[in-house]
Structures are given as structure tokens and as C-alpha cells.
């Protein structure tokens, strides 16, 4: 399919990306540390790290990791929310040439166990609050050391004292037994070990980023430094006319372990010298609004759910938006009503884009100054797309078909990919997204459906097979079918259809069971009990018929 969108590109932007500015993520960090050394890089809980200190602390941490035995290609998991310890743990790992595995700190033990065993992680950074979910997984993993972080790590002296007091009175303090595997972050960040430089190349694996799989098991996209930094360059080039280097303040309420926030907030805005305001828990609206009142923010990234949450607040509507430039919606589709209300309140557009874990993630973005139109925008630089039918042939014109992508940001493949698994690439090297899309004559893409049964709940990928497999482990459940139901706030909420073994099983019983074994966003919002699940002749659940059951 010929590129017919370059005429629609932002003024002065060429179709081709050309050479990227940095070879590795550490090159990016050190370049920014030189340019913006005294400017704030990351802010959290009334404390901040400037660019120079971010680099110094990360290198200091790396020195200790090397002392522990971390070498190039060692796999290090990070299980942290948006706190100052996240970027230091991340960049410290990259100084060693390690491969990082992001772990959602909301995961339950069964989910953590799969990621650790599959990735073969040998080290993990974890917030003490989440240690109890990690603990049952340690024996079956390859973990050599657990680096325990506390919420007050890296905070200024006043907040270092104040935050633990608040946690104590809220009864959220955690006591973790010391043993030969556990190390505290605060005990190692002040070490004086010498750091040994590591040679890292563009094609070295930077990230094993787990995404959902149609088999019900998460699988990891293998993302190289080149993949991620190509996407950083693509995004920064796109937004360049609208930003001023070293002057922006971006609100980072989406978790950094999510690929969208990881690449766009943590890395792209680091490249342009912005201040990343880290929000650990945006659902604590009262605390979130206090930060928004304090910071003269210029950019915000969010999912539809979060935009809607803020719009419910009278205090939010009273904020000073005079310095606010634009917002970016990612992770799930932005609803037109949300965008309309956001524009009315803040005076700014929500710029919608599209991406996947496998594409680092950004594939397309709307022009920043375009009014919201429901499109997912134009493919970013050096990104080729084609739309194919079921037989793999190109679809002409504006007919719907599966969206396929090729570009420097596309993963090299899946971790531990087996030859007998379905090939995620076409014969000519395009990644098959599984999303059904159309493309207009001037190159604007629109997602019309999903080929796969994936549910997007509050910006997170949820796969019905995983939930069905989990529900079937309940002794009183014979079988289950799961679908997504449109939800103006969450994108979709989850509905489970269940065939009982025990007639006394209640909806409350099922919800409580799910809450014990599943991350919150995977817990069904509605349970429907039925006598039989609709199935094909070979026993496959007919989810389209479940949708008709209401």
C-alpha cells in the first residue's frame, strides 16, 4: 500500500525518520543530563530529582548491581508504581546493559509467577507494599536478589519523615523478614562501589514487555533499544512544533510499567528536558488534584477513564489551564463525548493515537492541533501500513481489514516464540495487529473492530481465555464464558457467563474469588448464571452469541 499520508503530515516533518539521535537508552539519559542537568527530571510526593542527579543515582545503583553479579543481558524485573525509585531502578539496570521486565505491581501471585518463570528474571525491584504477593513466587523463580523499595526512598528529608508516619497511622506499614535474598534500596543507593562501563548496542534487548495472549498466558514482546528509541524520536519529532525543550511539565498519571507511559512519558519527555510529575495513585482524586493545583502543567497523558474522572471534579474545573498545551489519549479509545467535555473545560484538544506493546507502542497519532474526530491519526515517520483480508491479500480503498504494521519501532518477535505458534508477521515482514481498520484517502486510520476477542478495560488488555481458565478452577463452577461490554468510562467492562456445579453459588462468591486471584481491572463487573454456554461443533465458546444474551 503506497504512503498517501505524507501530505497531511505536520508542517516541516518528512515522511522518513532518518537517523535517530541516540543508540541506547543510557545515551539518551546522559545526553539529557548534560543539556538539562539542573532542571527537574522527575517529581513525586513534594520531592524531585534533577537530570544530573537522576544519572548519578542510576549509575551508583548500577555499580552495586554489578557487585551483586548483574552483567549485560541479565534480566531484571521492576514491580513499582510511579515513584522516584522507578526511573532510578530502570536506568540503573540499563547502565549494566540488563534487560528489563516491567511487572504490574497490582498483579496477584499467580500472574507474577508466570512472568518471573517465563522471563527468567534474576533480580527484582519491588515496593514493600506488594512483597506479600511476590513472596510465594520466589522459590519457583530464578530470583537471586529482591531489592525492596519503600515509598519514602529518595524523598527529601521532610517527606522522608512525614510519609512513613502517615503510612503507619493508615496501618499500611509492612515488615519484611531480612534474609540473604532481601536487600533494601535505601541501603544500596549510598554505596561507593566503582562502576564499570558496559558496551550496549542498538539491537540489544532493552525490554521484555508482557502483553496478553490468545492462549490465556501473557507473552513478552522483545523490544530493542533501537525499537524504543525510534519510537521516542518519532513521537518527539511529531510534537516538536508544540513544545519548548526544557520548559514542559507533563503529568504522568498512567503507570510507567505500561508501554504507553514508559515510552511517551518516561523516555520521550526525558529527551526534551521535561519535568515528569509522577502520580502513584490517580484514583486518590483528592491528592491528585493537590498536585495539579501546585504544578503549572503543560501536557497530560491519560486514558478515557482518567479524563472522565477528572471531569467529575469541581476543583479540577477551577484549575488554571492557561499554560496547558495538549493532552494525549492512549491505552484505549477516547470517547467523543469525553473529548468534547475536556475541550470545554480545559480549552485543549485530546490528541488520540494508536499503538500496541509490540510496536513500542506508537503506530499513529493525530496532528496535535486537529480537533478530535475519532480517528487514530496518521502513521508516524518511517511506518508502513497495509490492510489485509482473511486470505492475506491487500484491501483496496477504504474497505475494512486487518491492520498490519512495519517500521523501526516494531518488535523483533516474541520471547520464547515457538515455531508451531501462529506467526505474528506476514510473509513480507508486517506485524499483524489483530485490529480491523480502515484508511481514508488522505491516510487517516480508524479502528472499527477487533479481530481478536481482547477486551480493553481502563486501558489494560484483558483476554477472555485467561479469565475463563481462572474461573474454571473454582470448585463450584463447571465452565465460564467472558466478553467485554461497552462502557463509556472504562472503554469496556467485563461480563462473565457461568455454568454452576453448585446451585448455591452466588454472584458475590464469584466476585470475591476473582478479587483474590486477579488484578482489579480483570475482575468481572457482572456475573450471569446460565444453564449452558453456546458453542461451536468443536466446543469453542461462541462469544458473539453471549453478547446477544444481554
pLDDT given at position 215:
43
Nearest to 333 by CA among 484, 545, 183, 523: 484
pLDDT given at position 418:
77
479 lies in the same domain as 436 = no
Instruction: Please check whether residue 101 lies inside any domain of the structure.
Output: yes
pLDDT given at position 396:
80
pLDDT given at position 397:
67
Cell output for 128: 514493600
pLDDT given at position 213:
44
Is residue 350 within 8 A of residue 372, CB to CB? The reply is yes
Low-confidence residues of the chain: pLDDT under 50 = 2, 213-215
List Cα–Cα distances, 352 to 173, 339, 366, 375, in angstroms. Answer: 40, 10, 6, 7
Is residue 526 within 8 A of residue 498, CB to CB? The reply is no
pLDDT given at position 214:
38
Distance CA 109, CA 132 (A): 8
pLDDT given at position 544:
81
Distance CA 404, CA 427 (A): 12
Instruction: Please check whether residue 212 lies inside any domain of the structure.
Output: no
65 lies in the same domain as 187 = yes
Nearest to 263 by CA among 298, 301, 296, 291: 301
Instruction: Please check whether residue 330 lies inside any domain of the structure.
Output: no
Is residue 381 within 8 A of residue 234, CB to CB? The reply is yes
CATH of the domain at 468: 3.30.300.30
Is residue 229 within 8 A of residue 18, CB to CB? The reply is no
482 lies in the same domain as 539 = yes
In the chain, how long is the greatest CA-to-CA distance? 67
Nearest to 129 by CA among 81, 183, 187: 81
Number of domains present in the structure of the chain: 3
Asked whether the bond before 361 is cis by omega within 30 degrees of 0, the reply is yes
Instruction: Please check whether residue 320 lies inside any domain of the structure.
Output: no
Extract the runs of DSSP E, i.e. beta strands, from 268-383. Answer: 275-278, 299-302, 326-329, 350-355, 362-365, 378-379
Boundaries of domain holding 60: 50-200
Q: Which residue has the cell 481482547?
A: 454
Q: Which strand (E) or helix (H) includes residue 182?
A: strand 182-184
Question: Is 512 exposed, middle or buried (CB count within 10 Å of its CB: 0-12, 13-18, 19+)?
Answer: exposed
Helix, strand counts (H, E) of the chain: 17, 26
Distance CA 543, CA 259 (A): 28
Q: Which residue has the cell 454452576?
A: 500
434 lies in the same domain as 477 = no
Instruction: Please check whether residue 340 lies inside any domain of the structure.
Output: no
Overall pTM surpassing 0.75 (yes/no): yes
Final residue in a domain of this structure, among 392, 417, 450? 450
416 lies in the same domain as 512 = no
Final residue in a domain of this structure, among 402, 427, 450? 450
Instruction: Please check whether residue 408 lies inside any domain of the structure.
Output: yes
434 lies in the same domain as 489 = no
Q: Which strand (E) or helix (H) includes residue 437?
A: strand 431-439
**Per-residue pLDDT reduced to its tens digit, 256-270:** 999 999 999 999 999
Q: Tell me the backbone φ, ψ of residue 260, rounded to 5 degrees.
A: -65, -50
184 lies in the same domain as 61 = yes
Strand 99-102 to 75-79 pairing:
parallel
The answer for residues whose C-beta is within 8 angstroms of residue 137's C-beta and 6 or more apart is: 109, 112, 113, 116
CATH of the domain at 431: 2.30.38.10
Instruction: Please check whether residue 491 lies inside any domain of the structure.
Output: yes
Final residue in a domain of this structure, among 450, 478, 511? 450
465 lies in the same domain as 499 = yes
pLDDT given at position 330:
84
504 lies in the same domain as 382 = no
142 lies in the same domain as 60 = yes
Q: Cα 425–427–429 angle (5° rounding)?
A: 55
**Per-residue pLDDT reduced to its tens digit, 212-253:** 543 456 899 999 999 999 999 999 999 999 999 999 999 999
SS3 content of the chain, % helix, strand, coil (to 5): 30, 25, 45
530 lies in the same domain as 398 = no
Cell output for 538: 468443536
Distance CA 13, CA 336 (A): 28
Nearest to 293 by CA among 261, 267, 316: 316
148 lies in the same domain as 103 = yes
Q: What is the DSSP letter of 327?
A: E
Instruction: Please check whether residue 393 lies inside any domain of the structure.
Output: yes
Cell output for 328: 494525549
Amino acid at each position: 500500500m503506497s504512503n498517501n499520508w505524507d501530505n497531511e503530515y505536520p508542517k516541516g516533518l518528512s515522511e522518513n525518520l532518518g537517523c535517530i539521535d541516540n543508540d541506547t537508552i543510557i545515551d539518551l539519559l546522559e545526553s539529557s543530563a548534560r543539556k538539562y542537568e539542573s532542571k527537574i527530571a522527575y517529581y513525586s510526593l513534594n520531592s524531585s530529582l534533577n537530570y544530573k542527579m537522576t544519572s548519578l543515582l542510576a549509575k551508583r545503583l548500577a555499580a552495586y548491581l554489578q557487585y551483586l553479579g548483574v552483567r549485560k543481558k541479565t534480566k531484571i524485573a521492576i514491580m513499582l508504581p510511579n515513584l522516584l525509585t522507578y526511573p532510578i531502578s530502570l536506568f540503573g539496570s540499563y547502565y549494566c546493559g540488563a534487560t528489563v521486565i516491567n511487572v504490574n505491581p497490582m498483579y496477584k501471585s499467580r500472574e507474577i509467577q508466570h512472568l518471573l518463570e517465563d522471563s527468567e528474571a534474576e533480580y527484582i525491584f519491588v515496593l514493600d507494599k506488594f512483597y506479600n504477593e511476590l513472596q510465594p513466587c520466589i522459590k519457583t523463580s530464578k530470583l537471586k536478589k529482591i531489592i525492596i523499595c519503600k515509598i519514602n526512598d529518595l524523598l527529601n528529608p521532610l517527606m522522608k519523615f512525614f510519609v512513613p508516619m502517615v503510612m503507619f497511622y493508615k496501618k499500611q506499614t509492612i515488615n519484611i523478614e531480612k534474609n540473604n535474598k532481601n536487600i533494601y534500596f535505601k541501603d544500596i543507593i549510598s554505596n561507593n562501589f566503582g562502576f564499570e562501563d558496559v558496551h550496549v548496542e542498538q539491537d540489544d534487548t532493552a525490554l521484555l514487555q508482557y502483553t496478553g495472549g490468545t492462549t490465556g498466558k501473557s507473552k513478552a514482546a522483545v523490544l530493542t533499544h533501537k525499537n524504543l528509541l525510534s519510537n521516542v524520536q518519532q513521537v518527539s519529532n511529531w510534537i516538536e512544533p508544540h513544545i519548548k525543550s526544557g520548559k514542559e511539565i507533563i503529568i504522568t498519571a498512567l503507570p510507567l510499567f505500561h508501554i504507553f507511559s514508559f515510552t511517551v512519558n518516561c523516555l520521550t519527555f526525558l529527551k526534551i528536558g521535561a519535568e515528569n510529575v509522577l502520580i502513584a495513585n490517580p484514583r486518590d482524586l483528592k491528592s491528585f488534584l493537590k498536585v495539579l493545583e501546585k504544578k503549572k502543567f503543560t501536557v497530560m497523558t491519560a486514558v478515557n477513564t482518567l479524563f472522565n474522572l477528572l471531569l467529575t471534579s469541581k476543583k479540577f474545573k477551577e484549575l488554571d489551564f492557561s499554560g496547558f498545551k495538549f493532552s494525549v489519549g492512549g491505552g484505549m479509545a477516547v470517547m467523543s463525548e469525553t473529548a468534547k467535555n475536556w475541550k470545554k473545560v480545559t480549552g485543549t484538544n485530546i490528541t488520540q493515537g494508536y499503538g500496541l506493546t509490540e510496536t513500542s507502542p506508537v503506530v499513529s497519532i493525530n496532528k496535535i492541533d486537529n480537533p478530535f474526530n475519532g480517528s487514530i491519526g496518521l502513521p508516524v515517520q518511517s511506518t508502513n501500513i497495509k490492510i489485509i483480508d482473511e486470505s492475506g491479500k491487500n484491501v483496496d480503498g477504504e474497505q475494512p481489514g486487518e491492520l498490519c504494521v512495519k517500521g523501526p519501532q516494531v518488535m523483533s518477535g516474541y520471547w520464547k516464540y515457538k515455531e508451531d505458534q501462529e506467526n505474528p508477521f506476514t510473509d513480507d515482514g508486517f506485524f499483524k495487529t489483530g485490529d480491523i481498520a480502515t484508511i481514508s484517502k488522505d491516510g487517516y486510520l480508524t479502528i472499527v473492530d477487533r479481530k481478536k476477542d481482547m477486551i480493553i478495560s481502563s486501558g489494560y488488555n484483558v483476554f477472555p481465555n485467561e479469565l475463563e481458565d481462572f474461573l474454571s478452577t473454582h470448585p463450584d463452577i463447571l465452565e465460564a464464558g467472558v466478553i467485554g461490554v461497552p462502557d463509556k468510562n472504562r472503554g469496556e467492562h467485563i461480563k462473565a457467563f457461568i455454568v454452576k456445579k453448585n446451585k448455591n453459588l452466588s454472584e458475590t462468591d464469584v466476585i470475591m474469588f476473582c478479587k483474590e486471584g486477579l488484578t482489579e481491572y480483570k475482575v468481572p463487573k457482572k456475573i450471569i448464571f446460565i444453564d449452558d454456554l453456546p458453542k461451536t461443533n468443536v466446543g469453542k465458546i461462541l462469544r458473539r452469541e453471549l453478547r446477544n444474551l444481554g
